[in-house]
Structure 1
Amino acid sequence: MQNRAEKKRIVCFGDSNTWGFDASTGGRFPEGIRWTTLLQEHLGEEYQIVEEGLPGRTAVLDDPLLEGMNASAYLQPCLMSHSPLELVIIMLGTNDAKERFGLTSFNIAQGIAKLSLKAKQLLSGHNGLNSPVLVVVPPPIGPEYAKTPIGKSMGKDCDDKTEHLANHLTELLQESGIELLDSKGKVPMNRIDYMHLDEEGHELLAKLVFNKVKTILGDG
């Protein structure tokens, strides 16, 4: 039997923007449009991208209206089931801005930092070692979201909370060894609900993450 090399696995752990929610249809973007599948194409057959996106997912909070949204409760079994991993990519924060959670922008960043530190401490890498962790800060929610149907569910000030996430995360993670990638100003949200990526956004995010991943893994 021919020997086959194990593919290098990367887990992309996030919410509806990792799942690939298409605000124009209410469905899911197909492969070839989602940023995770585009990242797979950029990296090539040597890698395997594991898509772990869940619409509504929060970093460390239980949602009283939606079951199973707390990323912290699922992170360990998720990462360990896919181990050994080359890298863990976390992109969360959009749902944590919902008014019903009552968090400040700094509180949201604290939750993401706590989750990413947990990911870094898990022995999900090769030979029982840790996996590197990359935190991607999602694009801020556009202020226009409040005038769309999603605005009633999200509540007030979600745009302002997500606007400042990158600054807080830079402060919180500066000595952690966790990599940070800010998509603000580089990747736009759509013009439908202003809190999800459109096709252009997925393409731009895939390129941005690809360049960062190659640097982290020493291939760029």
Structure 2
Amino acid sequence: MATILCYGDSLTWGSIPNGGRYPKHLRWPTILNELLGKHHQVINFGLPGRTTIWNDPFLEGRNGLSYLQAALETFGPVDIVILMLGTNDLKRHFNVGAYEAAKGVEKLIEKSRMPNSHDFPNPTLVVIAPPNILSPTGAMAESFAGAIEKSQHFHQHYQDMAVHNKCIFLNAAGILQPSEVDGVHLDAQANEALAHALHDLIKTKV
């Protein structure tokens, strides 16, 4: 049985555009588990607002680097880690772009490969470049001011970083886009598409 840890933000957690959370069966980690089969365990460790390495002054406990080691030990040994973070890095108050987000994911990769006291083997790593941000609406419009253009560079920087670090790479923008309802979060169809794309990538690894 393979243990697969999905480490992400609200796109992994299952945020419904403009509020709420999808029931479990509509979230992409659950769909991925169904596709892989019940003898594997896919863990949804998404958290709304999580960044790669940044401390958010408005949301507590969102620094992804701070919690990854605990997650790897809690659920370990982990066979595959799927990393999809960076969307929240583009919030205006962080003042960084897709390049810095990719460097943040690189720190997560380094953390996941550090020796541990349990002698767990290093997991296989899957890096997902987040989807391009569309026109954010409502409360997110101010928070993600300037993020639309920045997000278009996710693919390039994440792919370069993933190849350099010998990770499996998936460009989410190549298979889906956020819901037009809020421009950031995924609709049910996008959750389905992401799960199927990941299944095709990792089915030979489990």
* Aligned equivalents of 2:67, 2:85: Cα separation in 1: 14
Q: Decide whether the 8 Å contact of 1:83 with 1:124 is kept in 2.
A: no
Q: Decide whether the 8 Å contact of 1:14 with 1:90 is kept in 2.
A: yes
Q: Which residue of 1 aligns with 2:139?
A: 149
Q: Which structure 1 residue ranges, 4+ long, deviate > 4 Å from structure 2?
A: 122-125
SS of residue paired to 2:179 = coil
Q: Which residue of 2 aligns with 1:193?
A: 182
TM-score, normalised to structure 1's length? Answer: 0.88
1:123 CA displacement: 4.6
Q: Which residue of 1 aligns with 2:37?
A: 44
Counterpart among 100, 103, 109 of residue 107 in structure 1: 100
Q: Decide whether the 8 Å contact of 2:129 with 2:159 is kept in 1.
A: no
Deviation string, structure 1 residues 186-209 (Cα, Å, up to 9, x no partner): 112101111000011100011011
TM-score, normalised to structure 2's length? Answer: 0.94
Q: Which residue of 2 aligns with 1:120?
A: 113
Q: Decide whether the 8 Å contact of 1:76 with 1:122 is kept in 2.
A: no
Counterpart among 128, 140, 144 of residue 136 in structure 1: 128
Q: Which residue of 1 aligns with 2:84?
A: 91
Query: Pairwise CA RMSD of aligned residues?
Result: 1.7
* Aligned equivalents of 1:167, 1:132: Cα separation in 2: 21
SS of residue paired to 2:80 = strand
Counterpart among 10, 15, 21 of residue 4 in structure 2: 10
Aligned length: 206
2:88 alignment partner AA: N
Residues 86 and 183 of structure 1: CA distance in aligned 2, closer, same or farther (over 3 Å) = same
* Aligned equivalents of 2:201, 2:132: Cα separation in 1: 20
Long gaps (5+) in structure 1: 1-6
> Considering only CA atoms, is the larger Rg found in Structure 1 or Structure 2?
1
Q: Which residue of 2 aligns with 1:3?
A: none
Deviation string, structure 1 residues 11-40 (Cα, Å, up to 9, x no partner): 00000010000125x111002110010001
2:120 alignment partner AA: G
Counterpart among 60, 65, 68 of residue 72 in structure 1: 65
* Aligned equivalents of 2:24, 2:69: Cα separation in 1: 26
1:136 alignment partner AA: I
Q: Which residue of 1 aligns with 2:164?
A: 175
* Aligned equivalents of 2:107, 2:14: Cα separation in 1: 25
Q: Is 1:166 the equivalent of 2:155?
A: yes
* Aligned equivalents of 1:212, 1:124: Cα separation in 2: 30
Q: Decide whether the 8 Å contact of 1:39 with 1:206 is kept in 2.
A: yes
1:80 CA displacement: 1.1
